[in-house]
């Protein structure tokens, strides 16, 4: 999938787009992750490098990760490299919310 030329208004944005759409990933997005033979996971995007205040557990040395938190409280982080990796097909956009994500002081478990 190619990266759409268009980014969100008001800045450079995340440069991440939900599979097969022009919908850019934003902090606070409500998402659903489909899983085989198990119940779907629901969560909220809580961290995007360059958009969120820097978090030392998600950005260090040459490593950058974006993250989402599921309803059971688990934080899932994945590599942030918009030129090489976009959200997988199993991750679906549900709705926008005003959730502010995690603060730099939040300890990830």
Domain assignment present for 66:
yes
Separation between Cα atoms, residue 41 and residue 43, nearest integer Å? 7
E strands, the chain, are: 30-33, 41-47, 59-60, 63-70, 75-79, 91-95
Domain count, the chain: 1
Domain assignment present for 1:
no
The helices-and-strands tally (H runs, E runs) of the chain is 0, 6
Domain assignment present for 8:
no
Range of the domain at 85: 30-95
**What pLDDT score was predicted for residue 107?**
85
Domain assignment present for 15:
no
26-53 confidence digits (pLDDT tens): 999 999 999 999 999 999 999 999 999 9
pTM of structure: 0.84
pLDDT confidence band for 16 (50 / 70 / 90): very high
Domain assignment present for 103:
no
What's the average model confidence in pLDDT over 77-100? Answer: 94
Any idea what the Cα angle at residue 91 is, between residues 87 and 39, rounded to 5°? 150
pLDDT confidence band for 13 (50 / 70 / 90): confident
**What pLDDT score was predicted for residue 59?**
95
């Amino acid at each position: 999938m190619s990266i759409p030329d268009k980014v969100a208004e008001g800045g450079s944005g995340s440069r991440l787009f939900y599979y097969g759409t022009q919908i850019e990933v934003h902090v606070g997005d409500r998402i659903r992750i489909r899983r085989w033979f198990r119940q779907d996971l629901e969560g909220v995007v809580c961290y995007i490098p360059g958009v969120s205040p820097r978090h030392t557990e998600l950005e260090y040395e040459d490593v950058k990760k974006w993250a989402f938190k599921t309803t059971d409280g688990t934080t899932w982080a994945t590599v942030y490299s918009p030129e090489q990796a976009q959200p997988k097909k199993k991750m679906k956009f549900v709705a926008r919310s005003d959730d502010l994500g995690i603060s730099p002081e939040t300890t990830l478990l």
